[in-house]
Structure 1
Amino acid sequence: MAGHSQFKNIMHRKGAQDAKRSKIFNKLAREITVAAKAGLPDPASNPRLRAAITAARQQNMPRDRIDRAIKSGTPGGDDANYEEVRYEGYGPGGVALIVEALTDNRNRTASEVRSAFSKHGGSLGETNSVSFMFNRVGAVYYPASAASADAMFEAALEAGADNVESDDNGHEVTTTVESFAVVRDALEEKFGAAESARLTWKPLNTVAPPEDAAASLIKLLDVLEDNDDVQTVEGNYDIPADLLEKLTA
């Protein structure tokens, strides 16, 4: 399980996530609301909102729930004022973690994130304490069925992407922050809606934690992602598939 791929990050917890669908919907709705509030409520002219709606549809979020979330972000809608906050620290085994959240109460969220780190063998650091170990990039994911590796590579590079990695699970296209929107739109025009498209943190190097640390790390990730305020968790860990299967059996 490579920590630099959010798509691969979540695969081992998919079953647990399916059992917590209401929590997933809450997170998706919050992102839609914030995206609508930050720009226009029309996804055609608001790339962040369009990406949020796409993510919601891929989780089979009901259309009326999506519409309510958009309405909450328009003038006269929800009065909740969500802030984007980032937490950085180290998990078990010296793994660097970046936690991004949307919260209406910074003190509550900071306390809960700090508690999660401390209870599961980690330590929360200051802002920028680990982000220097990562590059901020755009990441666009497509299933393997969307195109051949060659077709995806050619289209992505022509659109201005930096790199394409393809395997049996799918295609991961990475871009600079500046070219992300252009590349994403070009790929969606050619291959349809992406499975996921967002800005993310990609580590410069990865860490392979020992088995005991990996077990604690997985528990920490689950606790963090179970938090209503937490939107994404990125790390520089790389857990071998056989160990991952053993720990999550």
Structure 2
Amino acid sequence: MAGHSKFKNIMHRKGAQDKKRAGLFAKLSKEIMIAAKMGGDDPDSNARLRLAIATARSNSMPKDNIQRAVQKGAGGGEADLMEEIRYEGYGPGGIAVLVDVMTDNRNRSAADVRAAFSKAGGNLGETGSVSFMFDRVGEIVFPAEVADEDTMFEEALEAGADEVVTGDEEHEILCQPEDLHEVAGVLGEKFGDPKACKLSWKPQNLVPVEAADKAESLLKFMDVLDDLDDVQNVTANFDISDEIMEKLAAS
């Protein structure tokens, strides 16, 4: 995982997840439904829905799919059964993990997440057991080609961002959660729609994973969690060097 971006490093395998388009669209639809259920179907007055729709569009989700999700959320029914849950625990090697779930069956989700932790040699904890190690942040991602590093840095800071990390493929902008809509709006006017725009968790400290076999086990565990139907996001506080990632890619 790219060492140039510590936050991207632990925000985990979005690239791999994006390839699973059907699963990704299902996750995006759930977020749109919940947003519409909680705040109404008008994006202009519902900031969470506005962000959910922007993220769906940036991931090439069809317009009809987006509209259906909005209607389902605003109309109740399936959306009324959905609830948001956050699981916390420790994965292989004592890595702290947050798992954000959106589900219509709390028992099913708990069993699936618990099984994933158990099989990986980790364990679920109580609410608050690891979340104190993370900060809530706004995250905005643009393709690298929309601007050079200096331009993005200057524009993002002027818009109110706290941090900008530029890598080979993208610019990653972090801001305070309450500033996300404003910062994203200002930057969107200059650079077009972002690839991602959402609230995320940022680890306060990272734990280096220095052995290839341990890194491989950890990544498999993260993938198992990501692949669960009810899981929306997985965040952990590990750091895997470029060297180890290259070894795993070559094996």
Q: 2:236 matched to which residue of 1?
A: 235
SS of aligned partner of 1:178: helix
The change in CA–CA distance for 1:79 and 1:124 in structure 2 (over 3 A counts) is closer
Per-residue Cα deviation, 1:26-61 (whole angstroms, up to 9, x for no partner): 111111111111112122332222222222223322
Q: 1:194 matched to which residue of 2?
A: 194
Q: Distance in 1 between matches of 2:95 and 2:8?
A: 15
Alpha-carbon distance, 1:9 to partner: 2.1
Q: 1:102 matched to which residue of 2?
A: 102
Alpha-carbon distance, 1:146 to partner: 1.4
Q: 2:248 matched to which residue of 1?
A: 247
Alpha-carbon distance, 1:242 to partner: 3.1
Please state if 1:54 is matched with 2:54: yes
The change in CA–CA distance for 1:55 and 1:234 in structure 2 (over 3 A counts) is same
Matches within 5 A, 1:66-145: 66-75=66-75, 78=78, 80-145=80-145
Alpha-carbon distance, 1:85 to partner: 0.8
Please state if 1:147 is matched with 2:122: no
Q: Distance in 2 between matches of 1:72 and 1:125?
A: 33
Percent of aligned positions that are identical: 51
Q: TM-score, normalised by structure 2?
A: 0.90
Root mean square deviation of aligned Cα: 2.0
Q: Distance in 2 between matches of 1:3 and 1:69?
A: 33
Letter in 1 for 2:216: A
Q: Distance in 2 between matches of 1:72 and 1:51?
A: 17
Larger displacement relative to structure 2 (1-10 or 77-86): 1-10
Q: Tell me if the contact between 2:51 and 2:198 (Cα under 8 Å) persists in the aligned partners.
A: yes
Q: 2:184 matched to which residue of 1?
A: 184
Alpha-carbon distance, 1:83 to partner: 1.0
SS of aligned partner of 2:239: coil
SS of aligned partner of 2:201: strand
Runs of 4+ aligned residues of structure 1 deviating over 6 Å after TM superposition are none
Q: 2:13 matched to which residue of 1?
A: 10
The change in CA–CA distance for 1:8 and 1:232 in structure 2 (over 3 A counts) is closer
Please state if 1:32 is matched with 2:35: no
Q: Tell me if the contact between 1:3 and 1:9 (Cα under 8 Å) persists in the aligned partners.
A: no
Q: 1:64 matched to which residue of 2?
A: 64
Unaligned runs of 5+ in 2: none
Q: TM-score, normalised by structure 1?
A: 0.90
Q: Tell me if the contact between 1:7 and 1:141 (Cα under 8 Å) persists in the aligned partners.
A: no
SS of aligned partner of 2:85: strand
Letter in 2 for 1:220: F
Q: Distance in 2 between matches of 1:3 and 1:123?
A: 25
Matches within 5 A, 1:204-223: 204-209=204-209, 210-223=211-224
The change in CA–CA distance for 1:3 and 1:224 in structure 2 (over 3 A counts) is farther
Alpha-carbon distance, 1:117 to partner: 0.4
Unaligned runs of 5+ in 1: none
Per-residue Cα deviation, 1:116-149 (whole angstroms, up to 9, x for no partner): 0010121111111111111111111111111122
Aligned length: 246
Q: Tell me if the contact between 2:58 and 2:193 (Cα under 8 Å) persists in the aligned partners.
A: no
